[in-house]
Structure 1
Amino acid sequence: MKVLVASSYFPPHFIGGAEIIAHHQATAMAARGHEVRVFAGDISRQIPGYSIREDLFDGLPVTRIALRTRDFDATGNNLAHPEVERHFERLISRWRPDVIHAHHLVGLSLGILRIARAHGIRVVLTLHDHWGFCANSTRITHTGALCTDSSRCHECVPGFQSGPLHLPQRFRQGYLRWQLQSVDRFISPSRYLADAYTANGFPSDRLHVVANGIDLERFAGISPCGPSSRLHLLFIGYMGPHKGVPTLLQALRQLPPERFHVDFVGDGHARASYEAELARLAPDLSVRFWGRLPNAGIAERLAQAHVLLLPSTCPENQPVTITEAMASGLPVVASRIGGVPELVEHGVTGLLAAPGDAAALAACLHHYLEQPDDLAAHGRAGRERIRPYAFERQIGQLETLLAAPALPPQPSPPLVACHGAPDAEADAALRTEFASSPIQPLWLPASWLGPQPADLLWVSGPERDDPALARQRIDSYRRANRPVVLDERYRSVARNVTGVLIARGPLQSALAQKTLLLMPKRMDGTGPGESP
């Protein structure tokens, strides 16, 4: 089987949990005799133009696309890069993989999914977080609360910049959902994440729960830290609020400083402020901030710790740090959120606290001072609990899913291609008009759609310096017998076209779109404006 792994990042550049898993699974599939290549982004060079570079990493051929930090910016276009898609299409035309195994794709380009499908290549996508329905990927809103309604993404990220246009968030979400309809099978490492995607409209029959797996042998030789006058705590993760670092700092403030030592491993935008804040809150606490460490360095920290900490305020999937700590015989103190309780059983393999509750977190840590025997007991139970997650067992399930035959295309809601940039008033009118509608279309930029027409073209004002392109798109849709809604503010176009519905104002534009999309299909199966 020829497997092409696609990932926004790939080692040795920017190694996070998703990249570690992508690398381990790719090398394991190669070890089983499959041909494996990698198609990945590369921000190490920070050069424009999306140039490619071929190299080998751990025996795997890797095609690396030069990306820049701005390609990942949620306030910009981090989904559709035609240059990346052209490189991808040339690669699959030359190499002809049997299946694409995709991981994170934000920053790279989601268009590779439909391109693969058009070439008759199966697509399997492993989910690592909430990026498929959450603009922030964390389910944490701009107010710091846990989001329970993904239809309100615009409240956190109202829109994004695509070239000269500022587009509403619904275009990003619509494009995401449209592209992800090309996936044959989704793999979720946790039941929690699978259920979260199902609750957000993804097909449950295409979601498969398969743990990431862990190389137990790699951690078998690690012995937890022996008795000490101080309890050694270890945090491994991104230095940002969604990992619960502010909560941890407040919890450490409540503990006797002479009884604890804390190691922080990881980097992030808030690291410097956290170092200063902890020095202010607990000036007598023994602490060290290590920054990013290689795998060998992380293993050393695990061997010097009594307890692993992960006080996340965002729902975690299946944190690599927790599985590695459990395989090392460490108890885990973490938040009761997301997929964490599937790994950490309270009072058995560690202790759980409510996310954001510093007092409860401090109480969990104080428990191990009062009940030191639980350190060894919980560590042993964790090692036993993680045994079914052995990497070889999980890779067998992955291999089966990658080899499974392609599935029929997923049904799609109506597509609305938009030329222009709707303003906030027009976007609000769509929310109002379609709030209780029996259809929920997907809106996306016309330039991201490719050559195939959507179910409806919406030319949204005010008029820009592109009337010729607007007329070209209108003519294309009319030739395909697809309806067109034209904002009257495109005055030079409205004066010279026929066969389109000209809308006056945002409410009329939204109503026109809903009316046209709800028109019943004719006996020949075609809808409004369609040819039999």
Structure 2
Amino acid sequence: MRICIVAQTFAPQEEGGAEIVARMCARELARHHEVFVLSLGMSGDRLAPTGEATGEDGTRVVRVNWHNSYLPGHKKPLVGRIEKARWHLKASVGAVSAKEIREIFAREQVDLVYAHNSARMQPALFEASRQLNIPLCVHLHDYALLCPKSSMFSAGGNCDTPCLKCRVLTSRLKSDGEGMTAIAVSEALKQTYLRAGVLTKADWHVLRNENLREDKLHRPFVGRDSARSDIFTFGYLGALSEEKGIEDLIRAFVDMPNRRSAKLIIAGRGREDYVRHLQSIADGAPVTFMGFTPPEEVYGVADAVILPSRWREPQSLILIEAAAYGVPIIATNLGGTPEIVEDMKTGWCYDPSVAGSLAGVMEKALKIGHGNWWAERDKLFPGIRGFKGTAEASRYYERLNALLVEAQRPDHLHLQAL
């Protein structure tokens, strides 16, 4: 089968969770199918020029023209409010040519379009697939078809439904999904789309991100079951941004009466002014800002990993990584997070709307004691030992491949949701 994997941002550009999943899927599916990646590019861009290139792992990447002032992605330039509004308006109308995509699909004789983070390539992608009658499977990692920021998080709070501005800016991205296959990384994400009336006629499946491979894990720390630090260590990995709740975590840690019996390590990057603000809040407390750091440097020493996300995160890869490394998780009860932490018993959830709830859960961990925390880990968090978080253990790619093969069949007999 000839599969076009769509990812608007792709390596060597900076990656988030969705981009990592797309890249891993491209590599794994290429074992059984002819695969190439369709992404966005701009003439002269150092990392993402238009045209065809081959990545370090042998993946073919074809980049189509992005007719806008700068590429989407994690490293956008600092621009004024007017320029940003103009960029979003042009993206909402359509900054990609359906004709260019259609010509690529025809030339490559594509049998299936498998789209990951692809909102910025709409409506051209929907149009080209429909015009050539090519089956389309969309793999949803966030709320990008409902919200230009992809988070449905604004002014410090979550949006229960898309606001008027978001409805206008995403109006051309909408589809009822008839004849399409939709994969969501959590049941919570799926239900958000259905409540918004988007992709209501698609053949829906929930496939949790579990695509870490055994050969990519840092073996000495996988499945660890003992303390690796001299004092109880809370760890955080991720972007240093408001919606990630990192400020809530630092304030909770600083406010704990027993904070001197613990330390907090923070791995990740953010805007320089915001990082300075966070550092000022942590002043005098045992908090270490590690910057951009390999994840195993946190998983190797942390006694608990904290996910304080304010936004309704559909499914963070950290939930899978931490449990695979044997580290319990403390996380908000928003989005798809409880589907792993609570349902699979890998940690504790707390309600971020309740004042002092995070500090209370962290105090609860400290009262158990550093040594007892690990001695009693399997009793406290019975889902961690034997956690099936790697691709091999969960048969992730086998299940994904079965879905894609079924999606490409002309009669498209519906599979039961995974």
Q: TM-score, normalization: structure 1?
A: 0.66
The one of 189, 196, 199 equivalent to 1:200 is 196
> Which position in structure 2 is the counterpart of 1:188?
184
How far did residue 51 of structure 1 move? Answer: 3.1
User: 1:50 touches 1:84 (CA, 8 Å); kept in 2?
Assistant: no
Cα distance in structure 2, aligned partners of 1:93 and 1:399: 23
User: 1:54 touches 1:62 (CA, 8 Å); kept in 2?
Assistant: yes
Matching of residues 373-384 of structure 1 within 5 Å: 373-375=372-374, 376-377=377-378, 378=380, 381-384=383-386
The percentage of counterpart residues that share the same residue type is 23
> Which position in structure 1 is the counterpart of 2:367?
370
Cα distance in structure 2, aligned partners of 1:201 and 1:34: 33
How far did residue 391 of structure 1 move? Answer: 6.3
Cα distance in structure 1, aligned partners of 2:14 and 2:300: 24
Structure 1 residues 301 and 42: CA distance shift in structure 2, 3 A = farther
> Which position in structure 2 is the counterpart of 1:174?
171
Q: Secondary structure, in 3 states, of the residue corresponding to 1:384? A: coil
User: 1:71 touches 1:78 (CA, 8 Å); kept in 2?
Assistant: no
Equivalent position amino acid for 1:62 in 2 = V
Q: Secondary structure, in 3 states, of the residue corresponding to 2:194? A: helix
User: 1:125 touches 1:183 (CA, 8 Å); kept in 2?
Assistant: no
Cα distance in structure 1, aligned partners of 2:109 and 2:129: 10
Matching of residues 67-86 of structure 1 within 5 Å: 67=66, 70-72=70-72, 75-81=88-94, 83-86=96-99
User: 1:326 touches 1:379 (CA, 8 Å); kept in 2?
Assistant: no
How far did residue 402 of structure 1 move? Answer: 1.3
> Which position in structure 1 is the counterpart of 2:50?
51
Structure 2 alignment gaps of length 5 or more? 73-83, 413-418
Cα distance in structure 2, aligned partners of 1:326 and 1:262: 19
> Which position in structure 2 is the counterpart of 1:153?
164
Pair 1:254-2:255 in alignment: yes
Pair 1:5-2:5 in alignment: yes
How far did residue 351 of structure 1 move? Answer: 1.4
Cα distance in structure 2, aligned partners of 1:304 and 1:183: 48
User: 2:305 touches 2:322 (CA, 8 Å); kept in 1?
Assistant: yes
Cα distance in structure 2, aligned partners of 1:138 and 1:112: 22
Equivalent position amino acid for 1:381 in 2 = G
Cα distance in structure 1, aligned partners of 2:309 and 2:44: 32
Q: Deviations over 1:330-388 (max 9, x none)?
A: 00010001110011028942111112545111111122211133443356632434459
Pair 1:281-2:281 in alignment: yes
How far did residue 66 of structure 1 move? Answer: 6.1
Equivalent position amino acid for 2:110 in 1 = P
Higher mean C-alpha deviation, range 395-404 or range 311-320: 395-404
Cα distance in structure 1, aligned partners of 2:390 and 2:39: 30
Q: Secondary structure, in 3 states, of the residue corresponding to 1:343? A: helix
Q: Secondary structure, in 3 states, of the residue corresponding to 2:61? A: strand
How far did residue 39 of structure 1 move? Answer: 0.8
Equivalent position amino acid for 1:354 in 2 = D
Structure 1 residues 50 and 13: CA distance shift in structure 2, 3 A = closer
Cα distance in structure 1, aligned partners of 2:344 and 2:120: 41
Structure 1 residues 83 and 311: CA distance shift in structure 2, 3 A = closer
User: 1:310 touches 1:334 (CA, 8 Å); kept in 2?
Assistant: yes
> Which position in structure 2 is the counterpart of 1:41?
40
Matching of residues 463-482 of structure 1 within 5 Å: none
> Which position in structure 2 is the counterpart of 1:303?
300
Structure 1 residues 80 and 398: CA distance shift in structure 2, 3 A = farther
Cα distance in structure 1, aligned partners of 2:90 and 2:295: 35
How far did residue 22 of structure 1 move? Answer: 0.6
Pair 1:29-2:33 in alignment: no
The one of 320, 328, 331 equivalent to 1:331 is 328
Cα distance in structure 2, aligned partners of 1:250 and 1:175: 41
How far did residue 268 of structure 1 move? Answer: 2.7
Pair 1:393-2:404 in alignment: no
Equivalent position amino acid for 2:317 in 1 = V
User: 1:368 touches 1:374 (CA, 8 Å); kept in 2?
Assistant: yes
Cα distance in structure 2, aligned partners of 1:79 and 1:383: 46
> Pairwise CA RMSD of aligned residues?
3.0
Structure 1 residues 175 and 187: CA distance shift in structure 2, 3 A = same
Equivalent position amino acid for 1:200 in 2 = A
How far did residue 127 of structure 1 move? Answer: 0.3
Cα distance in structure 1, aligned partners of 2:381 and 2:213: 14
Equivalent position amino acid for 2:164 in 1 = C
Q: TM-score, normalization: structure 2?
A: 0.82
Matching of residues 71-150 of structure 1 within 5 Å: 71-72=71-72, 75-81=88-94, 83-142=96-155, 144-150=156-162
How far did residue 329 of structure 1 move? Answer: 0.3
Cα distance in structure 2, aligned partners of 1:53 and 1:227: 46
> Which position in structure 2 is the counterpart of 1:500?
none
Q: Secondary structure, in 3 states, of the residue corresponding to 1:233? A: strand
User: 2:138 touches 2:183 (CA, 8 Å); kept in 1?
Assistant: yes
Cα distance in structure 2, aligned partners of 1:225 and 1:291: 26
Structure 1 residues 44 and 303: CA distance shift in structure 2, 3 A = farther
Q: Secondary structure, in 3 states, of the residue corresponding to 1:382? A: coil
Q: Secondary structure, in 3 states, of the residue corresponding to 1:78? A: helix
Structure 1 residues 279 and 136: CA distance shift in structure 2, 3 A = closer
User: 2:179 touches 2:201 (CA, 8 Å); kept in 1?
Assistant: no
Q: Secondary structure, in 3 states, of the residue corresponding to 2:190? A: helix
User: 1:232 touches 1:262 (CA, 8 Å); kept in 2?
Assistant: yes
User: 2:235 touches 2:264 (CA, 8 Å); kept in 1?
Assistant: yes
Cα distance in structure 2, aligned partners of 1:43 and 1:353: 43
Cα distance in structure 2, aligned partners of 1:188 and 1:97: 23
Q: Secondary structure, in 3 states, of the residue corresponding to 2:277? A: helix
User: 1:100 touches 1:116 (CA, 8 Å); kept in 2?
Assistant: yes
Q: Deviations over 1:389-420 (max 9, x none)?
A: 75661222211221122579xxxxxxxxxxxx
How far did residue 212 of structure 1 move? Answer: 2.2
Structure 1 residues 44 and 374: CA distance shift in structure 2, 3 A = farther
Cα distance in structure 2, aligned partners of 1:239 and 1:266: 6
Structure 1 residues 304 and 12: CA distance shift in structure 2, 3 A = farther
Structure 1 residues 391 and 214: CA distance shift in structure 2, 3 A = farther
> Which position in structure 1 is the counterpart of 2:348?
351
Structure 1 alignment gaps of length 5 or more? 158-168, 409-532
Cα distance in structure 1, aligned partners of 2:179 and 2:261: 51
Cα distance in structure 2, aligned partners of 1:44 and 1:76: 21
User: 1:6 touches 1:101 (CA, 8 Å); kept in 2?
Assistant: yes
Of structures 1 and 2, the one scoring higher in RCO (CA 8 A, sep 6+) is: 2
